Amino acid sequence: MIKSAAIVKNKTLAPWRELRLQKRKLKKAQALERKQNKIVTPTPIGLSLAKADEPIADGSPTREEMLQQAEAIGLKVDKRWSGATLLNKINNAMETA
């Protein structure tokens, strides 16, 4: 709204700007609602979620075991390979041998 001494005008927005403004207001309202409903459960001090020293109990071999197996079959291992890549390379090498 534009006010002056003599004239009062209501400025109308272009339809695309009105839509953009409505979307922006909706996003802000949704963000505030998410923030209010957020549940935070902090971990106690000195307690970590995952321990690196504990072996994985899902039955998959550890990286050290995979490296030993790769050395045994003569596979050259790149240190940048992930565990899944290393396992795939070992399996492929053992199938071809």
Using 50, 70 and 90 to split pLDDT, how confident is the model at 85?
Answer: very high
Whats the size of the chain, residue-wise?
Answer: 97
Whether 56 maps to a domain, the answer reads no
Q: Specify the amino acid at residue 96.
A: T
pTM above the 0.75 mark?
A: no
Instruction: Report how many domains make up the chain.
Output: 2
Q: Does residue 76 belong to any structural domain of this protein?
A: yes
At 11-58, the pLDDT tens digits run 888 999 999 999 999 999 999 999 999 888 877 776 665 555 555 556
Buried b (16+ CB within 10 A) or exposed e, 13-26: eeeeeeeeeeeeee
Q: Which residue range(s) make up the domain with 19? A: 9-37
Is residue 68, in this structure, part of any structural domain at all? Answer: yes
Are 28 and 35 within 8 A, CB to CB?
no
Q: Is there a domain that residue 53 lies in?
A: no
Asked, for residue 2, whether it belongs to a domain, the answer is: no
Is 70 inside any structural domain? yes
Q: Identify the residue whose tokens are 């534009």.
A: 2
CB atoms within 10 A of CB 8: 9
The verdict on residue 58 lying in a domain is no
